[in-house]
Structure 1
Amino acid sequence: MKIIDIIDKKKKGLELSKEEIHYFVNEYTNGNIPDYQASALLMAMFINKMTPNETANLTLAMAYSGQTLDLSDIEGVKVDKHSTGGVGDKVSLVVAPIVASCGIPVAKMSGRGLGFTGGTIDKLESIEGFKTDMTIDEFKSYVKNHGIVISGQTDELAPADKKIYALRDVTSTVDDISLIAASIMSKKIASGADAIVLDIKVGSGAFMKTIEDAEILAKTMVSIGNSLNRTTICIISSMDEPLGFGIGNIIEVREAIEVLKGNGPKDLVEVCLTISSIMVYLGKKSNSIEEAREIVLKSINDGSAYKKFREWIECQKGKLSVIDNISEYRKASNIDIFVAKEEGYISSINAQEIGKVAMLLGAGRETKESIIDPSVGLIFEKKVSDYVRAGDVICQIHHNNYGNIDMIMEHLNKNINISKQKQTKSELIYKIIK
């Protein structure tokens, strides 16, 4: 088998066989195919598109390109969750302890953030002492003993995806639905889950900008998961404005704790309830998603979800004294306020641009080398469709002596719009795709 023949075949729009795709993935991962030939094949895939069989085979080849987690000796249905990301998305911090408190093992590997704000791992590491680097044996022991773990991704897990994604990033082949789906699902398959719940964000602050594209991606990933014997359900949720009130690492931890205590902003609560309910249903603890929602609500209302959260933080070496005093922990040295310039209703809050503001403050990484400041970010007091008078506080800006606060104010002014007429909020959850 020769890589030049595989490139030529895909250039002509023909379907690659399972053997051809596995040959490409294995040989490229092992350094036997140069970047320029891999780039040519990726571009041919991008231009001529991939069939469902090709996409499933690419997923499988990347998933088994390195180590995989075998969780079969852990009792119960292991359910994983993934979000395509957005601004203020702290959902994993909430749903993991909720679902674990309902008796379903949650074994999740998450990444660090590049861009708007930190990823799940960055948020958890804003809690003093919290351990995210661990061996596979440690990972499994946490699941066995506590029913919950979230760790950083290892280099040994789906290494082909890491190498291929880096090449896609510099060859303008990132935004292809088959390649996106294979990248996400390869990591989920390698992580050993029996069932997978995916939250595909759509809107100004998401990678997917239209519901139509998000639905195609959702159906592609559901098809991949089901074809590989992983029951998969996708929700498509809105990211036209930031999720919840808080944006920033410890700020989002505080808000997640509020949700676990039965409080928190309505939009964040609803997304967390929906995803948790689907996970409980897939974990075979209920006969329907509706029944699962009642189980989830009970776990919050009786305190078991928050109890499991504290157990989780402690078992991964986070300091409980931090959790018990979270409202005072790692506060930024300065809080400025952005106020409404006129009376009316907030008509839009551009999530993508607000995310850039958080990144400028230090809540996210502009490059892989950037250092995150866990204390900084934004806290909104008003959301889309809320009424404001001139001078009302729309959001707080938490920063540590950020030098150009006037630029931040101007950026917020351009991306938070007020109108005389009340706007209808977009739907929060557009679809659930099974």
Structure 2
Amino acid sequence: MTATQPGGVEPFDAVDVIRAKRDGARVPEDALRWMVDAFTRGYVADAQMAAFAMAVLLNGMDRDEIRVMTEAMIASGERMSFADLGKPTVDKHSTGGVGDKITLPLAPLVASFGVAVPQLSGRGLGHTGGTLDKLESIPGWRAALSNDEMLAQLRDGGAVICAAGVGLAPADKRLYALRDVTGTVEAIPLIASSIMSKKIAEGTDALVLDVKFGSGAFMKDFERARELAQTMVALGTDSGVRTTALLTSMETPLGLAIGNANEVRESVEVLAGGGPADVVELTVALAREMLALAGRPDADVEAALRDGRAMDTWRRMIRAQGGDPDAPLPAPVETHTVLAPRDGFVTRMAAYEFGVGAWRLGAGRARAEDAVLPSAGIDLHVKPGDRVAAGQPLFTLGGPDDTRFARALEALEGAWDVGDDAPGDAALVRERIAA
């Protein structure tokens, strides 16, 4: 944190910092640290930080500037430590997608090998789902834990999925809100510093990033997704956090369930040794990556899914947060099924449009304060590459009533196709990025 000079005089001027970045210059380290601190204190106005964010979007930042920005955001709040747990800690962060429930089976799977998984998660906004929203479909489950509760749960069961405390990187929370309304969300230096400031402040030993690209991803373009992954891996490495990334496709929704309660059901199927092949593939790939960073490179993750160890850890984790793992999950009262118009192969199911469709059903939120409907969502009956007959179910919309179906169906117009030829197989995990 950069202190003001005697007499309350600030050591830098926000306009000078904005001009430097506007003109493509490198912002000096002490000036950049001051800018973040002064913004957190309220001295730098929202309009000034918005102008700075736009300058970053247009002109970028070099690796050292991004490191300084990240460190300044970390310094704006508290830092957690898991040093007293007596076991390695490893976390996973996904850049978000449609049907992405991987955290749910992944955290207990990795924890079943004696590794602590402190998974600080968020809520959905727009077409991407939120891990906490999904878990709140489970009766009694609570997202808010104190630091002491989190540590106790990590000691006992090894895995915790909960809301991040307000004390972690508060500068990021303020800047994130500005980026969302000023057209600067896409700036890679700001995305990277936002994600990594929270993850580094969290105090984990190691971190695996699931950086998605494609229709339903935040980064549509593969090369930009790779640049983001490389930037975040460098930030983690520079901060002493062992960090790797997998670049994974989000052209098609993950799994067969898009929503909240239905995604929990699918996650439990994976933990029981079943579930859709793509969800299992990505869960296993990320688990292997996390366990390798945690010093367990020979862990047999498939065996832990088959023999019930991961399921046992899931049940302990849910109970520890007040949830009942045996309670019935909310189910839709009304449904509407879309049928195949002809014989052929499913050639496309666009992730973004299906995410918007589920959002319009009430599975997501347009504003942070909106509530979600646990039973709302879409269940896919087929995936691209499957052969179908005319009249065969393709997907089903569900919710507490049918009032939202028309708008959801509008979003899904043109989002899927049935054709004569099966599409080629596309790799789910495209590339691994390491320091």
- What range describes the TM-score normalised by the shorter chain of this pair? over 0.9
| C-alpha distance in 2 between matches for 1:356 and 1:370 | 15
Normalised to the residue count of structure 1, the TM-score between the two structures is 0.95
Query: Which residue does 2:302 correspond to in 1?
Result: 297
Q: 1:284 pairs with 268, 280, 295, which one?
A: 295
In the TM superposition, residue 27 of structure 1 has moved relative to its aligned partner by 0.8
8 Å CA contact retained: 1:149, 1:312:
yes
Note the 1:62-77 alignment, pairs <5 A. Answer: 62-77=73-88
Structure 1, residues 409-433: CA drift from partner, whole Å, max 9, x if none? 4543421111111111321110011
Do 1:117 and 1:248's aligned partners in 2 also have CA atoms closer than 8 Å? no
User: What are the equivalent positions in structure 2 for 1:299-378 lying under 5 Å apart?
Assistant: 299-322=304-327, 326=328, 329-378=329-378
Q: Distance in 2 between matches of 1:11 and 1:406?
A: 46
What residue in structure 1 maps to residue 417 of structure 2? 417
Give the partner amino acid of 2:405: I
For the pair 1:11 / 2:17, whether they are aligned, the reply is no
Instruction: Return the letter of the residue paired with 1:316.
Output: Q
> TM-score if structure 2 supplies the norm length?
0.94
- Residue equivalent to 2:247: 236
Distance (whole Å) between structure 1 residues aligned to residue 117 and residue 171 of structure 2: 25
Alignment: residue pair count: 423
Match of 1:249 in 2: 260
Contact 1:348/1:417 (8 A) holds in 2: yes
Hey, what's the Cα distance between the residues in 2 that align with 1:376 and 1:47? 39
Paired with 1:54 and 1:408, the residues of 2 have a C-alpha distance of: 43
* Residue in 1 that maps onto 2:6: none
One-letter amino acid of the counterpart of residue 248, structure 2: S
Match of 2:65 in 1: 54
Whole-Å Cα distance in 1 between the matches of residues 29 and 179 of structure 2?
21
For the residues of structure 1 that align with 2:351 and 2:23, how far apart are their CA atoms? 40
1:225 paired with 2:236, answer: yes
Deviation digits for residues 162-212 of structure 1 (CA, Å, limit 9, x no counterpart): 101111112211101111111111110011111100001111000111111
Report the Cα offset of residue 406 of structure 1.
Answer: 4.3
- 1:152-171 matches, within 5 Å, as 152-171=163-182
| Contact preservation (8 Å) 1:91, 1:271 | yes
Gaps of 5+ in 1: none
Moved more, 37-46 or 96-105: 37-46
> Are the counterparts in 2 of residues 185 and 225 from structure 1 also a CA contact under 8 Å?
yes
* Residue of structure 2 in register with 1:389 after alignment: 389
SS of the equivalent of 1:73 reads helix
Name the amino acid aligned to 2:371.
I
38-47 or 420-429, larger mean C-alpha shift: 38-47
Amino acid at match of 1:86: G
Q: SS of the residue aligned with 2:251?
A: coil
**Larger mean Cα displacement after TM superposition, 63-72 or 250-259:** 63-72
Deviation at 1:18, TM superposition (A): 2.3
Aligned identity (percent) is 40
Is 2:433 the partner of 1:429? no
The unaligned stretches of length 5 or more in structure 2 are: 1-10
Instruction: Give the Cα separation in 2 of the matches to 1:411 and 1:10.
Output: 39
SS for the counterpart of 2:414 is helix
Distance 1:307 1:184 in 2: 31
Q: Deviations over 1:132-157 (max 9, x none)?
A: 11222222221122211111122211
Cα distance between partner residues in 2 of 1:19 and 1:114? 34
How much does 1:58 deviate? 0.8
Question: 1:129: Cα distance to partner?
Answer: 0.8
Alignment of 1:111-126 (within 5 A): 111-116=122-127, 118-126=129-137
Q: Deviations over 1:85-121 (max 9, x none)?
A: 0000000001100000011000121111111254001
Q: Counterparts of 2:330 and 2:167 in 1: how far apart (Å)? A: 34
In structure 2, what is the Cα distance between the partners aligned to 1:253 and 1:116? 18
Aligned mates of 1:382, 1:364 — CA distance in 2:
23
Q: Tell which deviates more after alignment, 115-124 or 187-196.
A: 115-124
Secondary structure of 1:337's counterpart equals strand
Q: What's 2:33 paired with?
A: 22
CA distance in 1, matches of 2:88, 2:28: 32
Q: Distance in 1 between matches of 2:103 and 2:88?
A: 18
User: Per the alignment, in what secondary structure is the counterpart of residue 86 of structure 1?
Assistant: coil
Question: Residue 183 of structure 1: SS of its match in structure 2?
Answer: helix
Following the alignment from structure 2 to structure 1, what is the Cα–Cα distance between the partners of residues 146 and 407? 44
The CA RMSD measured in Å over matched residues stands at 1.3
Residues 4-31 of structure 1: per-residue CA shift (max 9 Å, x gap)? 2222222232212322221111110011
Letter in 1 for 2:313: K
Determine helix, strand or coil for the equivalent of 1:98: helix
